[in-house]
């Protein structure tokens, strides 16, 4: 008995990733489900309460709020943008408007509506946007209403040391289709210059749509990277056949 406890402790401390059974709050979809897409969709909707609070034991982060340590623009271009310690409210109110899953090709297409998102954090920006040169770093806060996003996920199968087959994200692409409206406030622009700071904040807010269009690729990239990490963290715990049993 003591030995078992000791082994358990050693494994827990060393963080060895072991294949595990699915927790009861995940509703399993069989591989040959008549409508697999429908099944996965209702399984995700079922999971909303757990997604809201998060399940650290299963590496499921909390969506309310969703905390992202770093959203960095890796894309080239004229703008460098980094948002750190972002706290996002409203992601748990997501609506799945479409879900298409194909287990032959391992392709998943998900459309989501986000009625209201509010984000706060620290920004660091340098570059040209809506014809303005902006530079600064400090706290930021913003609201976005009625956003629509499309996510396309290409998975691949890989074998772990335990001989089991697992899924991982080969490519995850987020497209922000619509942001109906919003507002943003960047504190401390240009080292705290109040006149320039106010002018740029006003310019951003009165040209919010153009602003969103310009930062979109950056934000899409950052969101895709964040969600790839989250998805892989969850997926590496459960073998493919546990997630999608044959029958």
Please give the residue ranges that form the binding site for ligand NAG (CB under 6 A): 35, 37-38, 41, 99, 118, 141-143, 183-185
Three-state SS for 51?
A: helix
Task: Identify the DSSP state of 220.
Answer: H
Token couple for 103: 């287990």
| Cβ neighbourhood burial of 32 (10 Å; 0-12, 13-18, 19+) | exposed
CA 118 to chain centre: 15
Instruction: Name the β-bridge partners of 111.
Output: 98, 150
48-53 LR contacts (CB < 8 Å, sep 24+): 48/92, 50/25, 51/92, 52/92
Closest to ligand NAG by CB, 97 vs 165, is 97
Q: What is the closest distance, in whole angstroms, from the C-beta atom of residue 121 to ligand NAG in the complex?
A: 13
CB of 174 to ligand NAG, least distance (A): 20
Joined together, the tokens standing for residue 221 give 């990239």
Which CB atom, from 102 or from 154, has the smaller least distance to ligand NAG? Answer: 102
Closest C-alpha among 32, 121, 123, 38 to residue 85: 121
Nearest residue (CB) to ligand NAG, 208 versus 238? 208
Q: Which is nearer to ligand NAG, 107 or 143 (CB)?
A: 143
- State yes or no: cis peptide before 65, omega within 30 of 0: yes
CB nearer to ligand NAG: give 48 or 156: 48
**DSSP annotation of 15:** T
CA-nearest of 167, 144, 179, 186 to 228 is 167
d(CA 3, CA 200): 64
**Which is it for strands 132-159 and 165-186: parallel, antiparallel or unpaired?**
antiparallel
User: Minimum distance from CB of 111 to ligand NAG (Å)?
Assistant: 11
- The nearer residue to ligand NAG, 26 or 184, going by C-beta atoms, is 184
Q: How far is the CB of 34 from ligand NAG (least distance, A)?
A: 8
CB of 143: closest distance to ligand NAG in angstroms?
4
Q: Least separation, in Å, of the C-beta of 97 and ligand NAG?
A: 10
CB of residue 82 to ligand NAG, shortest distance in Å:
19
* 41 or 239: CB nearest ligand NAG: 41
What's the rounded Cα separation, in Å, for the pair 74 and 192? 26
């Amino acid at each position: 008995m003591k030995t078992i406890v000791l082994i358990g402790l050693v494994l827990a401390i060393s963080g060895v990733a072991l294949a595990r059974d699915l927790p009861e709050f995940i509703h399993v979809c069989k591989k040959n489900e008549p409508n697999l897409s429908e099944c996965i969709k209702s399984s995700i909707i079922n999971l909303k309460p757990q997604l809201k609070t998060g399940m650290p034991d299963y590496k499921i982060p909390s969506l309310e709020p969703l905390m992202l340590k770093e959203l960095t623009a890796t894309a080239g271009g004229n703008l460098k943008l980094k948002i750190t310690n972002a706290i996002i409210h409203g992601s748990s109110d997501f609506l799945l408007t479409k879900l298409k899953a194909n287990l032959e090709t391992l392709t998943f297409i998900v459309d989501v509506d986000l009625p209201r998102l509010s984000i706060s954090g620290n920004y660091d920006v340098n570059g040209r946007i809506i014809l303005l040169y902006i530079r600064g770093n400090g706290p930021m806060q913003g609201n976005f209403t009625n956003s629509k996003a499309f996510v396309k996920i290409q998975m691949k199968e890989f074998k772990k040391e335990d001989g089991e087959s697992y899924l991982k994200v080969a490519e995850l692409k987020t497209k922000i289709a619509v942001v109906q409206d919003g507002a943003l406030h960047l504190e401390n622009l240009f080292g705290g210059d109040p006149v320039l700071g106010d002018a740029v904040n006003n310019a951003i807010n009165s040209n919010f749509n153009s602003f969103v269009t310009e930062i979109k690729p950056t934000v899409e990239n950052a969101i895709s990277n964040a969600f790839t990490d989250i998805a892989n963290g969850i997926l590496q715990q459960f073998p493919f056949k546990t997630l999608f049993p044959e029958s």
